[in-house]
Amino acid sequence: MSADFAPINLTNHFLIAMPGLSDALFGRSVVFMCEHSERGALGLVINKPSDIFLPRLFEKIDLPMGRDDLQQTPVFQGGPVQTERGFVLHEALPAGEGQAQGESVYASTLSIPGGLEMTTSKDVLEAMSSGAGPRKVFVTLGYATWAQGQLESEITENSWLTVAADPAVIFDAPVHERYERAMALLGLQPWMLSPDAGHA
């Protein structure tokens, strides 16, 4: 089977924008892929903070912010789709009483192979507001999505590099270093890539 037709699954990978991608949201972006199948793909941009911080988001939904460690945490622009909805990427919590292994604590959660989960239900924010919830969290408004075959086509056109995701880049790296840190997973630095890559 030729590589052109081999199905790729980029779940739990980073998409790293090539220097030639000049879109306002996606230029110099790193996207964590939550889901990728033959039907399409869904991801969250991890290096474009909004001007809202978590305490303000919690205020907007009438919840106190019960976590001192999250006071200075920005809410990110996760993508251009459903920008009024919150998406919480977090480490998987150990199963509690009455829960099957692999079943999330929260009502609406996508388990991502590799140990992370993405929750869209308010209960994860309620847990955080009471001082509990997952320790490592990344919150966005909106997400990025690709229709069937669209992402594969963009990769073929040299819009994106791909690499297996490293949670440390999402949760621990300073925002302004995430693009370079994701590139470094491939052994690359941005200056090595011409903005005109792939175009004669």
Backbone angles phi, psi at 171, to 5 degrees: -100, -25
Q: Where are the domains of the chain?
A: 13-93+103-192
- The residue ranking higher by pLDDT, 82 or 2, is 82
DSSP 18-73: -TT---TTTTT-EEEEEEEETTEEEEEESS-EEEEEHHHHHHHTT-----GGGTTP
Q: What is the pLDDT of residues 120-176, one digit of tens each?
A: 999 999 999 999 999 999 999 999 999 999 999 999 999 999 999 999 999 999 999
Q: Please name which of 159, 142, 167 lies closest in space to residue 196, comparing C-alpha atoms.
A: 159
Mean per-residue pLDDT over the chain, rounded: 89
Whether pLDDT at 80 is above 60: yes
Whether pLDDT at 103 is above 90: no
Whether pLDDT at 199 is above 80: no
Q: What is the pLDDT of residues 6-54, one digit of tens each?
A: 568 999 999 999 988 888 889 999 999 999 998 999 999 999 999 999 9
- Domain spanning 13-93+103-192: which superfamily? VC0467-like (3.40.1740.10)
Give the pTM: 0.89
